[in-house]
A and B are shown apart, each in its own frame.
Chain A
Amino acid sequence: MKNVLVVDDDENIQKMFKDILEVYKYRVIQANSGKEALKKYMEAKPDIVIMDILMPDVDGMRTTKKILKKDKNAKIIVVTAVGKSGLEKDCIKAGAKAFLMKPFKIDDLLNAIQKVSGGE
């Protein structure tokens, strides 16, 4: 069973990810801030990270870079409601392996997870 760290400051979104991912047999670890995400990543070494962008303390972009600094093989998927043009490119440049826009299709999320963890 793979571990997924879900980083999002909205508790409704957190719960939703947990509900979806558990149906598809993933174990979910939750972090509601960039700071907590870094800590939990180091503790649990999850297989996949689902990362929000707009967060109060350290935003998703910076958190992505920080995690990659600690572990260059981290598999991070950005899932955001921010519709700014060029954001996807910036996230990929920062090291994210995939990018999804909220709302997303569940199949797209599952495909992204599979594609990203495909290397193993």
Chain B
Amino acid sequence: MVKGIDRVREYLEEITEAIPSTILIVGRGLEIVYANPHYYGVAGKKPKGVIGKNIWKVLPSGTIKRMDLNKKIRDVIETGRPFEGGHAPGDRLGTFYFYKVMPLMDEYGDVTRAMILVEDVTELTRLEEELKESYAKLDEAYKELREADRIKSDFISTASHGLRTPLTVISSYLELMDKGKIRGQEKRKGMTETLILQTNHMIGLVNDMLDISRMESKKFMVEKKEIDVQEIVNEVLEKVRNLADLKQHIVLLEIPDGLPKIVGDKKRIGDVLINLLTNAIRYTPEKGKITINAIDERKGLHFTVKDTGFGIPKREQKKVFEKFFVGSSAKKELGRMGLGLSIAKGIVEAHGGRIWVESKVGKGSTFHFTVPKEKRRKK
């Protein structure tokens, strides 16, 4: 029997010695009466400097204050109720401790001592922080996904609306023709022209959508060939000439001779210029002035398309390059899907250039973009 109790004692001692947390037993006067080997290990102290000493003399005062340890020990001894646990940063930066204060009874059943259990939870706290961060990231990713989903649904509904309009015209005229309701060569010719125009409009819309979708999935590719600036500007001008004449605009070219060639995709850079010019023509009242300018800069060629049009309000200037954004002056016209400038931006950026706008309501807008130029040998 005695032997058995001894065995249990032996185990208990072994267990207490092996616990990887600090255990201190403190008396009513805050004197330390016991410290386990783990404490000696981490504190680098010997029993001589610990046992019988006041906690203020042994433990770092910062720790005592942060844990409010002296008060908690007294409370626990007085009330006999344990302090169930709290967290406090340790003395070393970045460390965290979890601690408990428990009442200990003497052989008469009185609480005269308290046991302090301190566990290093630095690693756990770090993991918890990481988990919180991961949650935040997950939450952000979720929000981004929701936003992407919203953009996709908007895309589908805008695209469907954009395609329905020309499709309505096409379908109705074909039906009228099919019913044999169109009499006269003249009428038939007019309708055929409308059919071609609306079909081309639809082709344009479908191509724009494809471009946007390629740009979004980063599959948008551009050629990199040397292009003569005069040549590309003249070709583009040919294409918008009729539209500009219709509104009696003056189109001025300010392209100096001897500019270096630009390096890029001729068709795509042409698309950017056409887009900027058609916008300028469209959003400038009749008899306006549109100026195309190209400057040789260190990094590349800097193009500007300047108009004397309605201008873009400040709050809309940033948004004009977003897809599906249709500005307040553009809303008056239909068939606008709000893709033109966002495609232009995608093209310029695919070349490594930049696109931006300066504008004043009532004065006009200037669209700028840059594209890389040929590398000339040093003279």
In the complex, whether B92 has a CB less than 8 A from a CB of chain A is no
- Given A10-B334, A12-B198, A19-B191: A81 in contact with B161 (beta carbons within 8 A): yes
Of A12, A13, A56, A101, the most chain B CB neighbours within 10 A belong to: A12
Of A81, A83, A101, A106, the most chain B CB neighbours within 10 A belong to: A81
A81 adjacent to B176 (CB under 8 Å): no
- A54-66 vs B, Cβ < 8 Å mask (1 yes, 0 no): 1010000000000
A-B contact pairs, 5 of them (CB 8 A): A9-B332, A12-B166, A13-B169, A16-B194, A81-B168
A81 adjacent to B173 (CB under 8 Å): no
B169 adjacent to A12 (CB under 8 Å): yes
In the complex, whether A1 has a CB less than 8 A from a CB of chain B is no
Interface size on B, residues (CB 8 A): 25
In the complex, whether B335 has a CB less than 8 A from a CB of chain A is yes
B176 adjacent to A23 (CB under 8 Å): yes
A12 adjacent to B176 (CB under 8 Å): no
Residues in A with CB closer than 8 Å to B181 are 23
In the complex, whether B179 has a CB less than 8 A from a CB of chain A is yes
Residues in A with CB closer than 8 Å to B160 are 81, 83
A104 adjacent to B168 (CB under 8 Å): yes
B161 adjacent to A54 (CB under 8 Å): yes
B175 adjacent to A16 (CB under 8 Å): no
In the complex, whether B171 has a CB less than 8 A from a CB of chain A is yes
Residues in B with CB closer than 8 Å to A19 are 172-173, 176, 191
Assembled-state Cα–Cα distance A84/B153 (Å) = 11
147-195 of chain B: CB within 8 A of chain A:
157, 160-161, 164-173, 175-176, 179, 181-182, 191, 194
Residue positions of B touching A, CB distance < 8 A:
157, 160-161, 164-173, 175-176, 179, 181-182, 191, 194, 198, 331-332, 334-335
In the complex, whether A72 has a CB less than 8 A from a CB of chain B is no
In the complex, whether A82 has a CB less than 8 A from a CB of chain B is yes
The 9 residue pairs across chains A and B that have the minimum distance between CB atoms: A81-B164, A103-B168, A102-B168, A10-B334, A103-B171, A23-B181, A56-B331, A16-B169, A81-B161
A103 adjacent to B167 (CB under 8 Å): yes
Assembled-state Cα–Cα distance A79/B251 (Å) = 40
Residues in B with CB closer than 8 Å to A15 are 194
B175 adjacent to A105 (CB under 8 Å): yes
- A15-33 vs B, Cβ < 8 Å mask (1 yes, 0 no): 1100110010000000000
Shortest Cβ distance from A120 into chain B, in angstroms? 26
Residue positions of A touching B, CB distance < 8 A:
9-10, 12-13, 15-16, 19-20, 23, 54, 56, 81-84, 101-106
Assembled-state Cα–Cα distance A104/B174 (Å) = 12
Of B161, B167, B198, the most chain A CB neighbours within 10 A belong to: B161
Residues in A with CB closer than 8 Å to B157 are 83-84
Shortest Cβ distance from A95 into chain B, in angstroms? 24
Assembled-state Cα–Cα distance A102/B160 (Å) = 11
A12 adjacent to B194 (CB under 8 Å): yes
Residues in A with CB closer than 8 Å to B170 are 103
Residues in A with CB closer than 8 Å to B169 are 12-13, 16
Shortest Cβ distance from A45 into chain B, in angstroms? 27
Shortest Cβ distance from B147 into chain A, in angstroms? 20
Closest to B183 in A: A23
Residues in B with CB closer than 8 Å to A10 are 165, 334-335
Shortest Cβ distance from A15 into chain B, in angstroms? 8
Assembled-state Cα–Cα distance A19/B181 (Å) = 10
Shortest Cβ distance from A63 into chain B, in angstroms? 16
Assembled-state Cα–Cα distance A40/B36 (Å) = 96
Assembled-state Cα–Cα distance A13/B333 (Å) = 12
Which residue of the partner chain, among B165, B179, B194, contacts A106 with CB atoms under 8 Å? B179
Assembled-state Cα–Cα distance A29/B263 (Å) = 54
Assembled-state Cα–Cα distance A23/B172 (Å) = 12
Shortest Cβ distance from A61 into chain B, in angstroms? 16
Residues in A with CB closer than 8 Å to B168 are 13, 16, 81, 102-104
Of A19, A23, A54, A101, the most chain B CB neighbours within 10 A belong to: A19
B161 adjacent to A20 (CB under 8 Å): no
- Given A13-B165, A81-B161, A102-B164: A20 in contact with B172 (beta carbons within 8 A): yes
Assembled-state Cα–Cα distance A16/B177 (Å) = 13
Residues in B with CB closer than 8 Å to A20 are 172, 176
A12 adjacent to B161 (CB under 8 Å): no
Of B157, B165, B181, the most chain A CB neighbours within 10 A belong to: B165
Which residue of the partner chain, among A16, A81, A83, A84, contacts B172 with CB atoms under 8 Å? A16
Assembled-state Cα–Cα distance A15/B160 (Å) = 21
